[in-house]
Amino acid sequence: MLPSSLLTVLPYAAGMEINFVTINTRLDVVRMKSSTFTNVGIKSLTPGFLGSVLLPTVHSSLTSLAWSACCLPSCMYRTIAEMAIQGPFRKKRALNKHMDGKPFMKAVVLKTLIRKPKKPNSANRRCVKVRLSNGREVVAYVPGEGHNLQEHNIVLVRGGRCQDLIGVKHKIVRGKFDCAPVHKASR
């Protein structure tokens, strides 16, 4: 049981039979039948508490009070032991959903496009509409000055959005397959 310092005592009617529902950090529900109490302890729900939650429910039915406790923030905190083993929380990098989480994909050029960038910038950005090897069609940006891409060319596509083009989240790899590398102007 929990120490009395963690419990806030709430008065209940004398002779009421109580079932305790303990919900641990993994959200497994464990039921313990108790005897008759005049006062019943219920844990005050504070974020600093690392451990199980103790909730009263009348008789054997799990009422909405017990199930609503599963969603309380105090259940989501990790214990100190879990933090020591798992280390600091790191946000997972979002995978590119069009490319099935792959870094590169082969694609076929469907048509060449010219896109206008967002508000503060003004230019004509060269883009191509491609069909990836998984069948999806996306718009990819062609980096560098000038390109030789035409319809039916095979290109290599990588992830990476173009910051000032709306809806363009892929880039063409220059110098691979049918896409020529960038040629520097000789002086």
Task: Say which CATH number the domain at 159 has.
Answer: 2.40.50.140
**173: helix, coil or strand?**
coil
Which of 86, 121, 144 is the last residue in one of the domains? 86
What's the confidence (pLDDT) of residue 183?
A: 86
Number of domains observed in the structure of the chain: 2
What phi-psi label fits residue 27: left (phi over 0), alpha (psi between -120 and 50 degrees) or beta? left
Which of 22, 54, 86 is the last residue in one of the domains? 86
Would you call 135 exposed, middle or buried from its count of C-beta atoms within 10 A (0-12, 13-18, 19+)? exposed
Say yes or no: 19 and 57 in one domain: yes
- Residue 139 domain flag: yes
Q: Which residues of 68-87 are buried (b: 16+ CB within 10 A; e: fewer)?
A: ebeeeebbeeeeeeeeeeee
Band (pLDDT 50/70/90 cuts) for residue 186 is: low
What's the confidence (pLDDT) of residue 89?
A: 86
Q: Which long-range contacts (CB under 8 A, 24 or more apart) does 180-185 make?
A: 180/147, 180/148, 182/143, 182/144, 182/145, 182/146, 183/146
Say yes or no: 15 and 64 in one domain: yes
- Residue 134 domain flag: yes
As given in the structure block, the two tokens for residue 115 are: 């896109």
- Angle in degrees, CA 113, 118, 119, rounded to 5: 140
Q: What is the pTM of this model?
A: 0.53
Say yes or no: 43 and 112 in one domain: no
Band (pLDDT 50/70/90 cuts) for residue 91 is: confident
Q: Which helix (H) or strand (E) holds 85?
A: helix 80-86
As given in the structure block, the two tokens for residue 87 are: 């280390």
Q: Range of 117's domain?
A: 104-172
Say yes or no: 78 and 124 in one domain: no
What's the confidence (pLDDT) of residue 187?
A: 63
The residue whose two tokens read 């993994």 is: 26
- Residue 181 domain flag: no
Say yes or no: 163 and 118 in one domain: yes
- Residue 29 domain flag: yes
Say yes or no: 60 and 31 in one domain: yes
- Residue 143 domain flag: yes
What's the confidence (pLDDT) of residue 181?
A: 94
Instruction: Please state which of the ranges 33-37, 71-75, 81-85 shows the lowest mean pLDDT.
Output: 33-37
Say yes or no: 8 and 80 in one domain: yes
Which of 60, 86, 112 is the last residue in one of the domains? 86
